[in-house]
Structure 1
Amino acid sequence: MTARHAPPPLRFGLIGVDSPHAPSFVRLFGDGVTGTVPGGTIVSAWKGEAAQDFPLGRDRIGAFADEVTGLGVPLRATPEEVAAECDALLVVASDARTHPAYFTRLAPFGKPVYVDTRFALTSSEARAMTASARSHGCLPLAGSPKRFTPEFRKALGSGGAERIDLTGPLPTQPGHPTLAWYGVHLVDLAVAALGPGCVLVDATAGDRTTLTWGDGRTATLGGKEEWSPLTTGRITASHGIRDFAVEAGPPMLTGLLASLVQACRTGTPNVPVTEVLAIVGIVEAAHRSRTSGAPVRPEH
């Protein structure tokens, strides 16, 4: 489709702006035509409500809100006001504990809703969110931006992965146990490579968490608590062994944003709901495994 006959840019709204993704999304979309990622533009935002026990939100929300408005995006008083004037919503609030309630408020509008990286902290919350989406005709969108990068996609190839070994930063935040904060990126990549169907999560070792699929395929996840921009991986597949590295930063987000535009245009989730639920289940099981000292079967 030529630019002359392209549909008008999708109008996206930000819900919660206490994440660097908020201003980055605004810049990358731009006007929806000439931006780095064409097809969408951010037209309004709701600041969100930062919890006092969550420093990343509490200490950054004001500055990021100023940055977003400085880029020309108006702030609205409620998420409902944003939803009413947008074609799709982007929940980018840093605190995953807020995501279920925000999603519940947005789903009744029947519009696509992306929940940034950490869809929910528990399987029961994730199931309730996807059930609400089905009830209201809302398209649930999800996924770590790392799964949409060309580096990972090239290493994965056409599929057939038998094993994936991932190493990346594993910092934690209040209220987000074990892999629930940054470790969820690694879980997302593992599920993107091997699909849903993980039957056992072993987080009893101090250095690496091992995930086992029903057919014997495995993933291992590890890293240091200090944040760093680099995530590395090795995929063992029928076509051989391929290594990859993904560096965090605005360029890493372009594949994700392109997937959101395509999903909204086609009505097809950018990440299958089965994978979304699998990711949440693995993260939840990793916490139970770590605290119990035994391998755990994730909920499905």
Structure 2
Amino acid sequence: MSENETAPGAEPLRFGLIGVDSPHAPSFARLLGDGRTGAVRGAQVALAWRGVAAQDFPLARDRIDDLAADVSARGVAWCSSPEEVAERCDAVLVVASDARTHPDYFHRVAGFGKPVYVDTRFALTTADARAMLDAARDSGALALAGSPKRFTPELRDAASPGVPVERIDLVGPLPTQPGHPVLDWYGVHLVDLAVAVMGPGCVRVDARADGPVTLTWEDGRVATLDGEPQWSPTTRGAIRTADGRRRDLVIHAGEPMLTGLLEALVAACRTGVPTVPPAEVLTVVAVVEAARASRLRGEPVRVDPQPQQSRS
């Protein structure tokens, strides 16, 4: 029996959603189903808090009602606050699409000492990310992170372990949203893929407007991130290894792409092992933050090569 399946007689984990203005909210509920017979077994979405969509963020403001209705149709029980969700569930999934809300939501639920997943955009600044990781450690909560693309078989097959990677070139959609410029919105998926393959420790980000965003590691390894400002469902990549080989990957967005993430979340809740190491979480946030600064200044920006949590 795999660790993402429910043992005979065992109750599925009860997941609780915080913020339902992302399509991931109803998709997670559909894929998990009753926790026993869904596309992903071992957990179900049992509870949710609607969240508050900012008026300056149309993507959330204009779709929250329809998405909430879809979640409700799945039999999910509504709670009056994030705290009520955290108290009544086994693990919290912060799926609110506006990343500006994530630190506050995280701090409101971390004190319950349960696993907390923050969907795709963990935080917009390294200061917020460090504070969130510190809060999780202090309360015994398990901080979970990662773009769904990180957990796909396409990436796993292309990034075979044991062979050093010298370079990865990624091309995917790079739209932005209010309050989420440069790589803050969809570009974070490419950053997360690059860090998943290359590891933490990116030291330089060049996001000048005249070409792809270039990430450089301390040992000279490179990742490039490129794409168009319009959304499209396909992300492509080429991984070049130290032995001269090239491995290509193609990831298509959609509900099947989410199954690997949900399986990883179930496994993490059972084992206590985070989906993404804290150093990689901080590297992803640091790269996204540095890209904003690089685009604004029109020059490369140096990044802390070993991002650390604020307290040891």
TM range (shorter): over 0.9
Instruction: Give the distance between the partners of 1:95 and 1:3, measured in 2 at CA.
Output: 32
Distance in 2 separating the partners of 1:225 and 1:277: 25
Aligned-residue identity in percent: 64
Determine helix, strand or coil for the equivalent of 1:234.
Answer: strand
Tell me the equivalent position of 1:180: 184
- Residue in structure 1 matched with residue 106 of structure 2 by the alignment: 103
AA of the residue aligned to 1:244: L
Task: Please name the residue that 1:87 is paired with.
Answer: 90
| TM-score, normalisation: structure 2 | 0.94
Instruction: Describe how 1:24-63 pairs up with structure 2 within 5 A.
Output: 24-63=27-66
Tell me the CA shift for residue 162 of structure 1. 1.1
Candidates 200, 205, 218, aligned match of 1:201: 205
User: In the TM superposition, what are the counterparts of 1:1-300 in structure 2 within 5 Å?
Assistant: 1=1, 5=8, 7-159=10-162, 160-238=164-242, 240-299=245-304, 300=307
1:215 alignment partner AA: D
**Gap change, CA 1:215 and 1:95, over 3 Å in 2:** same
Q: CA deviation at 1:298?
A: 1.9
For residues 224 and 4 of structure 1, do their structure 2 counterparts lie closer, same or farther at Cα, with a shift above 3 Å needed?
closer
Cα distance in 1 for partners of 2:88, 2:248 equals 43
- Counterpart code for 1:165: D
Distance 1:59 1:215, change over 3 A: same
SS of the aligned residue for 2:53 comes to: coil
Change (3 A) 1:6 1:268: farther
CA contact (8 A) 1:284 1:298 kept: no
CA shift, 1:7, in A, is 3.2
Distance 2:195 2:66 in 1: 34
Decide whether aligned partners of structure 1 residues 187 and 77 sit closer, same or farther in structure 2, where only a CA change above 3 A counts: same
Q: SS of the residue aligned with 1:5? A: coil
Moved more, 196-205 or 119-128: 196-205
Q: Report how far residue 84 of structure 1 moved.
A: 1.1
Extract unaligned runs of 5+ from structure 2: 308-312
Look up the SS of the partner of 2:48 in the other structure: strand
CA contact (8 A) 1:119 1:142 kept: yes
AA aligned opposite 1:234: A
Q: For 1:267-297, what per-residue CA distance to the aligned partner results, in whole angstroms no more than 9, with x for missing partners?
A: 0001001000000000000110111011101
Task: Provide the rounded CA distance (Å) in 2 between the counterparts of 1:4 and 1:51.
Answer: 41
Q: Matched residues in 2 for 1:130 and 1:3: separation?
A: 29
Instruction: Supply the AA of the counterpart residue of 1:199.
Output: V
Amino acid at match of 2:64: I
Question: Do the aligned residues in 2 keep the contact of 1:207 with 1:223 (CA within 8 Å)?
Answer: no
Distance in structure 1 (CA, Å) of the matches to 2:115 and 2:30: 21
TM-aligned CA distance change 1:220 to 1:81, over 3 Å: same
Per the alignment, in what secondary structure is the counterpart of residue 183 of structure 2? helix
State the secondary structure of the residue aligned to 2:21.
Answer: coil
Amino acid at match of 2:91: A
User: 1: distance between equivalents of 2:9 and 2:249?
Assistant: 34
Whole-angstrom distance in 1 between the partners of 2:64 and 2:234: 25
